[in-house]
Every structure is written in structure tokens, then in C-alpha cells.
Amino acid sequence: MTTGRVFWLFGYSGAGKTTLAGGLAADLRAAGRHVLVLDGDDLRAGLCQNLGFSEEGRAENVRRAAELAKLASDQGAVVIAALITPTEHLRQLATRIIGRDRLDLVWVDVPLAVCQQRDAKGLYRRAAAGSVPLLTGVGAPFEAAASCDLQLRTDSQDVMLASLQEYVRRRLG
């Protein structure tokens, strides 16, 4: 059986990770690939609903997502994980679990101010009002990536998706 690959998209809430994951998944499925999307919001609504946003809760969320990604890629799936993954420590945790040889870290590097303007979920507004105290970038840190395999540095999701699709096609062969 062919081993799959994991593309781990990380960045601020509102950066476009979920949108990019959906566009990439549709492209890969159209090409006949078996794809699993692991979205942070979906995971927190189910598998990880018992976790908070403390350092320990975030680490366990990433650990569970990475374990799922590893299992699916062991079965030959292309996994697209879209999680904030705000610290280098958490990105290293995912790397240790999945394995560097089959993981691509993709930083969706959109400025915080742009994400705050988008605020599709109302999280930044609620954080400003004090009802979301540990929102990444506001009440909790986001560390710039010390290293990543691809850095998407624009707030144009169309440009980012095209760049991501081209990169993934090269990586998958």
C-alpha cells in the first residue's frame, strides 16, 4: 500500500486555512486521490470537544489531530490538516507523531489585522469584548514559524490556493 502524505496548514483564525483545505481537497479528489480533511473547528466540535484552549488543551488537540493524520496517511490518504497550531512546540509535536518524511508544514501567513477585519466567526469581536480570553493573536501567542515547507504570504485566497495546488502536485508527483 502506498503511504499517504500530510499537508498541515497553520496560521491565525481567519487566515483562510479551511477555505484552502476545501479547495485543495476538491482538486485532489477530482484527480482521483483519497483525501481526508481535518479541520480544527470540526475536531473541536466532536473528537476534541472536551478540550479547552490552555497550553495543555491545545497540545492534546494537536496530538489527536496528528495521530489521526498519521493513521489516515498510513492507509494511503492525502491528509489536509487545517489547525491554528500557534507555537513551534506544537508544530514539532505534529512532526514527531506524523514523521518528517511525510509531513509538509504550510504556513498560511496572513497578517493578524487582515484576519481581524475578516472576522467571519466573530471571534476577534468577542475577544475584544472579553468573552474569548485565549484567542490566538489576542490573548494567546502565535509564534512565527522557525521553518516551514511552504509559506503562503498573501491575503488573496485565490493566489494562495493556486500556489498551494502547484506545490502539492509537485510533492505528490
**Torsional sign, CA 102, 108, 112, 116:** negative
Whole-prediction pTM value? 0.92
Element (H, E) at 71: helix 55-74
Lowest mean pLDDT among 13-22, 83-92, 143-152, 153-162: 153-162
The CATH number for 5-172, chosen from 1.20.1070.10, 3.40.605.10, 3.40.50.300, 3.30.230.10, is 3.40.50.300
For residues 7 and 42, the model is more confident at: 7
Give the per-residue pLDDT at 1.
53
Question: Per this entry, what is the length of the chain?
Answer: 173
pLDDT digits (tens, 9 = 90+) for 77-95: 999 999 999 999 999 999 9
CA distances from 75 to 18, 69, 83 (A): 23, 10, 22
Pairing outcome for strands 150-152 and 103-108: parallel
Which residues have a Cβ under 8 Å from the Cβ of 155 and sit 6 or more positions away? 16, 110, 111, 114
Report the pLDDT averaged over residues 150-167.
88
CA distances from 24 to 45, 50, 86, 148 (A): 22, 29, 22, 18
